[in-house]
Chain A
Amino acid sequence: MSEFEPIIVAFCCHYCAYGAADLAGSMRLEYPPNIRVVRLPCTGKVTPVFLLRAFEKGADGVYVAGCLEGDCHFIHGNLVAKPRVNFTKKLIQEVGLEPERLEMFNMSAAMGPKFAEVAREFYDRIKQLGPSPLNKKYHGASAAA
């Protein structure tokens, strides 16, 4: 059986985390390749539907990365996202997933190293938690094993 490699979806704000990811690349900082970045105009665009769909499609972990609090390009989009992420934690918990599989982070576009660090830490966290019961690949594999 192949070792568990999580699928992680990162919803990143165009004005900060997405730039930070770019910078991390330019700086040749290493972070796990498991992160699939989805660019958003602002984390205020995130709704529980987005996050749930990612889990439904088999993501093992999902995070939202927005601007530092007080620095949102659209004034308070990241402050809109924060309670929505917390609310969605409860929703996935109801389903039977660990709420730790979902998180919100804040960073600026200048924080390339922070982006890599968050990616590594979150990867480690999900690795620890193991595959989501909805991840068809591992769910099927573990059942066969």
Chain B
Amino acid sequence: MVIGERKPFDEIMKMIEGHNKIMVLGCGGCVTVCLTGGHDEVRVLSSQLRMARDKDGKPVEIIEKTIERQCDPEYIEGVQALLPEVDAILSMACGAGVNFMAETYSGMAVYPALNTTFVGGSKKEGYYVERCQTCGDCKLYFTAGICPIARCSKSLLNGPCGGSTKGKCEIDSEVDCAWQLIIDRLKSLNQMDRYEDFMAVNDWRSNRDGGPRKMIREDFQR
């Protein structure tokens, strides 16, 4: 899922300065699962904003709303009827959701309440880790299911650097060395011979470097 983290409160306060009626809009997708932008978080942020603005003598009226997904026109349309009542949307979706909202509603200010941080999963409740960098050319076959692009701090494709120590990365002793994990897995799978295959210079066109990407299912096009 896409992981997000709430922006610092002061930054959010600055964004909504001058707006007296806003909608705090949650998303029922990834950010609900990672506990940053769903129904509950909308209520928490709204409550905080009302209190802070009240305290400053500049009360703000807030419509609290959460839709199924902010990255899907079908659901985005659902808030249209409420728009005349507000003068800004504070979106608690990931960056994709904020973009979709902004593209859909011209003339409406749309602000991000989250920083979209990475694609990953939960180790346990409330603890999320990065696992994919959406490079667009999956190499996990060669690396026993552990991604060196997302998990090696230098995205090295041909093995660990000289800073790998006791299974940890040179940048932080809390960070696993991705190549140690890969080697351990290759060994356990009896695939160590794969390590010595030279991983050729990468084609980064499938990555963001090739410009904004899209994916089209032809059988759904009319």
Residues of A within 8 A of B9 (CB): 94-95
Q: Which of B40, B43, B52 contacts A95 (CB 8 A)?
A: B52
Q: Which of B10, B40, B43, B51 contacts A55 (CB 8 A)?
A: B51
CB distance from A60 to the nearest CB of B (A): 13
CB distance from B29 to the nearest CB of A (A): 20
Q: Does A27 contact B (CB under 8 A)?
A: no
B51, A95: Cβ atoms closer than 8 Å: yes
Q: Does A99 contact B (CB under 8 A)?
A: no
Q: Does A28 contact B (CB under 8 A)?
A: no
Give A48 to B36 CA distance when docked, in angstroms.
13
Residues of A within 8 A of B55 (CB): 95-96, 133-134
B44, A91: Cβ atoms closer than 8 Å: yes
A56, B52: Cβ atoms closer than 8 Å: no
Give A96 to B54 CA distance when docked, in angstroms.
11
Residues of B within 8 A of A55 (CB): 47, 51
B40, A53: Cβ atoms closer than 8 Å: no
Of the four ranges (under 10, 10 to 19, 20 to 34, 35 or more), the interface on chain B belongs to 10 to 19
Of the four ranges (under 10, 10 to 19, 20 to 34, 35 or more), the interface on chain A belongs to 10 to 19
Q: Does B191 contact A (CB under 8 A)?
A: no
B50, A56: Cβ atoms closer than 8 Å: yes
B48, A94: Cβ atoms closer than 8 Å: yes
Encode contact with B along A24-65: 1 for CB under 8 Å, 0 otherwise.
Answer: 000000000000000000000001110011011000000000
B51, A134: Cβ atoms closer than 8 Å: yes
Residues of B within 8 A of A56 (CB): 47, 50-51
Q: Does A23 contact B (CB under 8 A)?
A: no
Residue of A nearest to B54 (CB): A134
Task: Decide if the interface of chain B is mainly helix, strand, loop or mixed.
Answer: helix
CB distance from A98 to the nearest CB of B (A): 12
Give A134 to B55 CA distance when docked, in angstroms.
6
State whether A53 and B47 are in contact (beta carbons under 8 Å apart), knowing that A47-B40, A134-B54 are contacts in the complex.
Answer: yes
A48, B51: Cβ atoms closer than 8 Å: no
Residues of A within 8 A of B54 (CB): 133-134
Residues of B within 8 A of A133 (CB): 54-55
Give A49 to B98 CA distance when docked, in angstroms.
24
A52, B52: Cβ atoms closer than 8 Å: no
Q: Which residues from 83 to 97 on chain A have a C-beta closer than 8 Å to any C-beta of chain B?
A: 91-92, 94-97
Give A94 to B47 CA distance when docked, in angstroms.
12
CB distance from B14 to the nearest CB of A (A): 13
CB distance from B35 to the nearest CB of A (A): 11
Give A47 to B9 CA distance when docked, in angstroms.
19
Give A134 to B57 CA distance when docked, in angstroms.
10
Q: Which residues from 18 to 58 on chain B have a C-beta closer than 8 Å to any C-beta of chain A?
A: 40, 43-44, 47-48, 50-52, 54-55
B51, A49: Cβ atoms closer than 8 Å: no
Encode contact with A along B44-77: 1 for CB under 8 Å, 0 otherwise.
Answer: 1001101110110000000000000000000000
A to B CB contacts below 8 Å, 9 in the list: A48-B40, A49-B47, A52-B43, A52-B48, A55-B47, A56-B51, A94-B48, A95-B9, A95-B48
Q: B-contacting residues of A (Cβ < 8 Å)?
A: 47-49, 52-53, 55-56, 91-92, 94-97, 133-134
